[in-house]
Structure 1
Amino acid sequence: MEIPWSKPYWGQAEMAPRPRSKSRQGWPPYLYPNRDGYKYRHPVTRKETWMGTDKAKAFAAAKKLNALLMPTNNLVDRVVGSKETVADAIAVFRQDDVPARGWAPKTAEVYESVIRRIEAGLGKRAVEGVTVKDCAEFIRGVTPSDRARQQFRLVLGWIMACAVQEGWIDANPVHATRRFTHERKRTRLTKEIYDAIWAKAEPWLRLAMDLSLVTLLRREDIVSLKFADVRDGFLWVVPQKTEGTSLVKLKIKVGEQLAILLSQARDSVVSPFVVHRLPDRARPSDKRATARVHHTQVLPEQLTRAFQDARDAAGVGGDSPPSFHEIRSLGGALVRDAGWTTEEVQALMGHASKSMTEHYLDGHDAPWTEVSPPPVLGTRQPN
């Protein structure tokens, strides 16, 4: 997902100071006369700061600032060689940490985009010279979104932690920066909105919606379900988001409602996938999406678009309409209100922590009409 981040000023090249006039020969770079005193111009941001009227103090301060803000001009570094940079820490993070995290391809793509932005903005900086203020200014400057800022803070913290672990610095400056919080803008999906969208959906989308409501599976897992995954009275699922990380494996009992949905899925179209559809037009195999292994397969993006189209046709959701993913939280709230404990909902959702499950259930506190014991969740009988 592309986020419209603004370009950070750290990504700009350092500005070289203008040649000194004869009257200012010997002055530290970026120090200028200002009225009866002196001012210092930041070599990167160009922000000017009043330095007072004392020439000796202004010169001393400018020299210290240049040593901090212009590490390439540091005479000690010229002798002993350059220090480890943020780019070096990023290289360690990519080599040692990223493979162990087992990110799904789309998650890895999002994080790599963040890493590249950090590398462009801070990569040339010596890790030893990166301060809390540097980190805070970078995080604030890279994007106006508090949600995205927190993501940059998280990843930058991981990267600087590598520098600590390598012994290049003693403390992680990112840990002292502000945590950014953001309010959920997406409207929670209610049963009334769900029913309105369902009424406008095509049969295959209705099936996908009801399956997600009953099983609490994510979009990617719903479209990946195969009839071969149903055996011995259970639906066997390894959630894609947790595959290779938390090793969550779900063995979902095929109760009455799930059995009805699986029966509905066995229609006249021959397909290995539970949720399937015939393509609008046939395409040669070399023209199909690389992720599609069967011509009846529904891709996650197709499911999202179809849900959005049905939602728009129903005219529901307001300014921040719910996505297909919100079906999980609605289904979790329904089974909780039908008598399940949070721990039972957590197990079905495949969450590693109870707090994450509570986050999904938050916002569904309005009273519900009486429902039958789980797993009966109000799905429909075939016509």
Structure 2
Amino acid sequence: MIRRIEAGIGTRPVEGVMAKDCAEFIRAVTSSDRARQQFRLVPGWILGCAVQEGWIETNPVLATRRFQHERKRARLTKEVYATIWDQAEPWLRLAMDLSLVTLLRRDDVVSLKFSDVRDGFLWVVPQKTEGSTLVKLKIRVGDELASLLSQARDAVLSPYVVHRLPDRARPSDKRAAARQHHTQVMPEQLTRAFQDAREAAGVCRENPPIFREIRSLGGALVSESGGQLNRFKAS
């Protein structure tokens, strides 16, 4: 991208680059609105630095048209979910089922600990609110969720509900900074594992469903059944 910007407008004195020059470059470099977003963003950063250095008074890119592009991902259906689930490792199957049943986000699923289950409820501080509102979710442990929590108690000793043994042992100083236990699954690991299972299942269409779509599927299944998810906000 930098090379194409350099070839398009990079040889001009910075004070001579006008909004018209930037607009013509962005339109000419690609016909994709999504790519045009990026080719507007990066010159905007570059010329923003020129403003900060006092070389120019205003950033000409800011006067150009904004290109709107919303990336639409394919919805996850029950059939596709089952196909991906069949290709997943046991720990990933558990993570998928937990997200489907509780509608928790990826980061919250891998953060669940057995100690979060008490008095017949699963208590969760969503990662999005941690450090700000500290809102807690109180999720009733029904038969389905209780079964998943029971499956999670396997031969691997771990404080985390979703866990796995590492492929190879690493010294504590070589582990990810956010890793608190050697069996802990990091959010990025969950994403990669889901992608691998999805590809193994042959779900390779344009904009294939990602792990986040499991929550949408779970919500749709709750609506179809006419039921309500037993989730409450608790202080």
TM-score by length of 1: 0.47
Stretch deviating more after TM superposition (283-292 or 202-211): 283-292
Deviations 1:153-194 (A, max 9, x none): 67959x98xx9xxxx77x99736614322452x322110010
Question: Could you tell me which residue of structure 2 aligns to residue 120 of structure 1?
Answer: none
- Distance in 1 (CA, whole Å) between partners of 2:60 and 2:131 is 28
Question: Could you tell me which residue of structure 2 aligns to residue 324 of structure 1?
Answer: 211
- Distance in 1 (CA, whole Å) between partners of 2:2 and 2:145 is 43
- Distance in 2 (CA, whole Å) between partners of 1:255 and 1:148 is 46
The Cα shift of 1:196 comes to 1.3
Matched, 1:249 2:193: no
Q: How does 1:272-283 map to 2 (within 5 A)?
A: 272-283=159-170
- Which of 176, 192, 196 is residue 83 of structure 2 equivalent to? 196
Q: Describe the shift of the 1:255–1:175 C-alpha distance in structure 2 as closer, same or farther (beyond 3 A).
A: farther
- Distance in 2 (CA, whole Å) between partners of 1:258 and 1:207 is 11
Q: How does 1:176-325 map to 2 (within 5 A)?
A: 177-184=65-72, 186-232=73-119, 233-240=121-128, 243=130, 247=133, 249-256=135-142, 257-325=144-212
Question: Could you tell me which residue of structure 2 aligns to residue 89 of structure 1?
Answer: none
Aligned residues: 219
- Distance in 2 (CA, whole Å) between partners of 1:5 and 1:321 is 29
The Cα shift of 1:210 comes to 0.7
Kept in 1, the 8 Å contact 2:9–2:25? The answer is: no
- Distance in 2 (CA, whole Å) between partners of 1:335 and 1:309 is 27
- Distance in 2 (CA, whole Å) between partners of 1:203 and 1:5 is 43
- Distance in 1 (CA, whole Å) between partners of 2:109 and 2:2 is 31
- Distance in 1 (CA, whole Å) between partners of 2:62 and 2:27 is 13
Question: Could you tell me which residue of structure 2 aligns to residue 99 of structure 1?
Answer: none
- Distance in 1 (CA, whole Å) between partners of 2:229 and 2:91 is 21
Secondary structure of the corresponding residue to residue 7 of structure 1:
helix
- Which of 6, 12, 15 is residue 9 of structure 1 equivalent to? 6
The Cα shift of 1:229 comes to 3.0
Question: Could you tell me which residue of structure 2 aligns to residue 346 of structure 1?
Answer: none
> Deviating runs (4+, > 4 A) in structure 1?
10-13, 137-145, 151-157, 242-245
Kept in 2, the 8 Å contact 1:277–1:298? The answer is: yes
Stretch deviating more after TM superposition (144-153 or 277-286): 144-153
Over the residues paired in the alignment, what is the CA RMSD in angstroms?
3.7
- Distance in 2 (CA, whole Å) between partners of 1:5 and 1:227 is 48
The Cα shift of 1:225 comes to 1.9
The Cα shift of 1:276 comes to 0.2
Q: Describe the shift of the 1:13–1:197 C-alpha distance in structure 2 as closer, same or farther (beyond 3 A).
A: closer
Fraction of identical pairs, as percent: 59
Secondary structure of the corresponding residue to residue 336 of structure 1:
helix
Kept in 2, the 8 Å contact 1:9–1:141? The answer is: no
Deviations 1:109-139 (A, max 9, x none): xxxxxxxxxxxxxxxx7xxxx63x3553465
- Distance in 2 (CA, whole Å) between partners of 1:150 and 1:248 is 35
Secondary structure of the corresponding residue to residue 104 of structure 2:
coil
- Distance in 1 (CA, whole Å) between partners of 2:228 and 2:221 is 9
TM-score by length of 2: 0.72
The Cα shift of 1:293 comes to 1.9
State the structure with more CA Rg: 1
- Distance in 1 (CA, whole Å) between partners of 2:179 and 2:167 is 15
Deviations 1:75-125 (A, max 9, x none): xxxxxxxxxxxxxxxxxxxxxxxxxxxxxxxxxxxxxxxxxxxxxxxxxx7
- Which of 31, 47, 71 is residue 15 of structure 2 equivalent to? 71
